[in-house]
Amino acid sequence: MTDLFEDKAAEWDARPLPAIISEGVGRALLEHVELTPDMQVMDFGAGTGLICCHVAPHVAKIYAVDISEAMLEQLAAKPELQGKVEPVCRDILEAALEEKVDLIISAMALHHVEHTDRLLKAFAQQLAPGGKLALADLDAEDGSFHPADIEGVYHAGFDRDELGALLEANGFEDVQFVTAAEVEKNGRHYPIFLLTATKR
């Protein structure tokens, strides 16, 4: 599988947009999701670990799942994540983690997965009973956020009502959205939501 983030990984953390988004999403996560010291967490599309850095001090373990070896190499090199965060280079649509988790977090990775329905089913299977989701991504936009010729981007953001209905159809309840961040690019503004939901 081609690593679409190979050329971006080394300077990912120095980019202004991931920094702004991860700050906002990290803050919203700590505000809206109860984190406990015994929690097993999966960060889907963890990348270089920007979101893991916010959550790791409050939980037992994070499985940092990503299909980009280059992004996970950056994550694995962060001393503050040692011992708490386990990098897992795997497509969880093909093979689930061996352990069930209490919480799945994710930032800006959903739009890279073509079949959201399949992904939400995989999330539901990966969660322990009563487990929670906390997922952040772009609100529906006009397709201008990414360059037109970019590979591996399947969604121009997500409509909150449609995504909420899809979550409910896949076994989640108590779906709530907040705006976690807003970024400006080429004179346009793009809000980023954080949704929380509980497995029924």
Ligand X SMILES: C[S@@+](CC[C@H](N)C(=O)[O-])C[C@H]1O[C@@H](n2cnc3c(N)ncnc32)[C@H](O)[C@@H]1O
- Residue 68 makes contact with ligand X by CB under 6 A: yes
* Residue 136 burial class via C-beta count within 10 angstroms: exposed 0-12, middle 13-18, buried 19 and up: buried
How far apart are the C-alpha atoms of 72 and 94, rounded to whole Å?
A: 19
- Residue 22 makes contact with ligand X by CB under 6 A: yes
Stretch that binds ligand X, among 53-61, 64-72, 122-130, 189-197 (CB under 6 A): 64-72
167: which 2 tokens? 């979550």
Quote the least distance from Cβ 45 to ligand X, whole Å.
3
Q: Which of residues 70-109 bind ligand X (CB under 6 A)?
A: 71, 91, 107-109
- Residue 65 makes contact with ligand X by CB under 6 A: yes
Closest CB to ligand X among 49 and 129?
49
- Quick one: which of 51, 55, 101, 122 contacts ligand X (CB under 6 A)? 51
Burial 45-62 (b: 16+ CB within 10 A, else e): bbbbbbbbbbbbeebebb
Closest CB to ligand X among 44 and 190?
44
Closest CB to ligand X among 17 and 175?
17
How far apart are the C-alpha atoms of 48 and 52, rounded to whole Å?
A: 9
How far apart are the C-alpha atoms of 167 and 125, rounded to whole Å?
A: 13
How far apart are the C-alpha atoms of 67 and 58, rounded to whole Å?
A: 25
Q: Which residues contact ligand X (rule: CB under 6 A)?
A: 5, 18, 22, 44-47, 50-51, 65-68, 71, 91, 107-109, 112-113
